[in-house]
Chains A and B, each alone.
Chain A
């Protein structure tokens, strides 16, 4: 289905370097209005850095290049004042560890109130009413009384609910959720994912879900982008990518997940480890670990190209992807 409306956020050739070491290599990515985009990859693949860079949240020493377009406006050139309006207003972000993102010495009312005053210009009684509504929305029981509580009086799952309430305070068009459930127990993770889905149904906001957990992304997201060593290696509709991953890395990653039912099979394991960004291999960064690598793979870095429909992948095998039978993969 071709998309007609322009994307909400568009990253163009986003590049990030720390001390001369490039950790993000020209990311091109779109987030459409109201959609959920999953970003998967292992630690160090650049999935968090992408959004920290886009929102100007990286430390000063980071060199960021490219364009971050929000409704056509480039955020990379924007001044701090403008960024403050965007962050929390148009685009909100929540992180893995809610307890450290909340201020331990301020009540929930103060912290929610701050966001409401800043982004919505609310005052006095309006703040109290809206803060209570937000806590109700995220499923904190007895919201009225709990507003006067401090973060330590809540459990981890409840703190994450409060973070979500704070993120929603500015009525953002996009919520970037960076491993929002990783620190939580399985049953609480299910609660938070359901909450995020319910909130999105209600508000129509778009979401970028950054996670190393393929199951979580698959269940939650419409589209998914798989990252490896600072690049997107595969992107497409979530159902298609998980059902029939094209890129050898994506295949390995999905095959590495033990099944929960059916017969047990030996897990596909990707040999080796992720490359050191200070000493990247020539050509395709996944080449040294790839079972399908040929000599050509060391010659050039493959670009993210369309393979079919809305799917893109960065691999020289893209041309004869069909020659590779789906699911055919040597067990390492």
Chain B
């Protein structure tokens, strides 16, 4: 087995939030002890609902936000401190794309200029080589040189996201963090961008952290998937296997909530209650107030993320292997 390209070990990120004007500041644990490893060329999908900490995880991994605990190592070396020259050099090898391509682009600059910018900043190649590389990059994401001369508002949403992608690829990164990269796009355009991401990943051997609320899209681009709930990974495993046979009750509910053409809503697991408030984290297993199969113990014991099968980890007392082993023995 090769050493992981990115290894994330128990990262945590906390925010202080004030409740109302005179409220006491409350601490919110946006990310709370998240660990995973990513080999070169591998894609890990992170799914979760709003407030699950999936975006914060992506930002902490890239060093865009400091970790309050834990560490991130890239190529076996701990991430240098953000803002330092070493970090800046390192950042050329890791890039990020966001949901809103218009916000990520400068409205006053032509697309080609923006795609070229990373090459200028990191002083890659000479003038001529940079020009050629820009054309190359635009072509790689399906844009013409003519698109390069246009401004962001003159492109469609899908084309803009392609431009953002071209810019992210300019420095030949090894690692790409995509945060809801297609959520703002129309369905038919989503498919274009998903196909492009899959192609780029295969051709360039990129490692990707693909963050999305859309299970279908995550499955399409990821080999492995981690499901987050209230700042923690509650289940992780092979994408196909995880969606076909979810172990954690929350994953089960998520999979069952994903509407599927041709299926009626008959046998859906519908969770009761609202998404949890990160400022008011339930005791024990954070999911227990909404969990359809919770037992009294879930209120007290915090489940750890443990191996529950080949290549599968889950944090639930009810799928803990010692428990299942005991049940199987009875059977």
Which residues of A are at the interface with B, using a C-beta cutoff of 8 A?
42-43, 155, 157-158, 185-191, 193-194, 197, 212-216, 218-220, 239, 242-243, 252-261, 264, 266-271, 273-274
Contacts and interface: CB of A to CB of B under 8 A. Distances in A.
Interface residues of B, number: 44
Interface stretch (B10-18, B76-84, B191-199): B191-199
Contacts of B194: 258, 267
29 contacts: A42-B189, A155-B275, A157-B275, A185-B275, A186-B258, A187-B254, A187-B271, A187-B290, A189-B257, A190-B265, A190-B268, A214-B261, A215-B260, A218-B261, A219-B259, A219-B260, A252-B188, A253-B188, A256-B188, A258-B216, A261-B243, A264-B240, A266-B195, A267-B191, A267-B220, A270-B192, A271-B192, A273-B158, A273-B159
Contacts of A258: 191, 194, 216-217, 219-220
B219 A269 contact: no
A10 to B, nearest CB: 27
Contacts of B192: 269-271
Interface string B83-110: 0000000000000000000000000000
A78 B240 CA distance: 55
Closest 4 CB pairs of A and B: A215-B259, A256-B191, A185-B49, A218-B261
B262 A218 contact: yes
B187 interface: yes
Contact of B186 (A42, A157, A187, A259): A42
A157 B274 CA distance: 7
Nearest to A243: B262
Contacts of A274: 186
Contacts of A188: 49, 274-275
B158 A158 contact: no
Contact of A253 (B187, B216, B240, B262): B187
Q: DSSP majority for the B interface?
A: helix
B260 A218 contact: yes
A269 B190 CA distance: 8
B50 interface: yes
Contacts of B243: 260-261
A190 B290 CA distance: 14
B113 to A, nearest CB: 23
B215 interface: yes
Given A197-B265, A260-B258, A264-B220, A270 B274 contact: no
Given A214-B187, A269-B191, A257 B261 contact: yes
Nearest to A40: B187
A218 B263 contact: yes
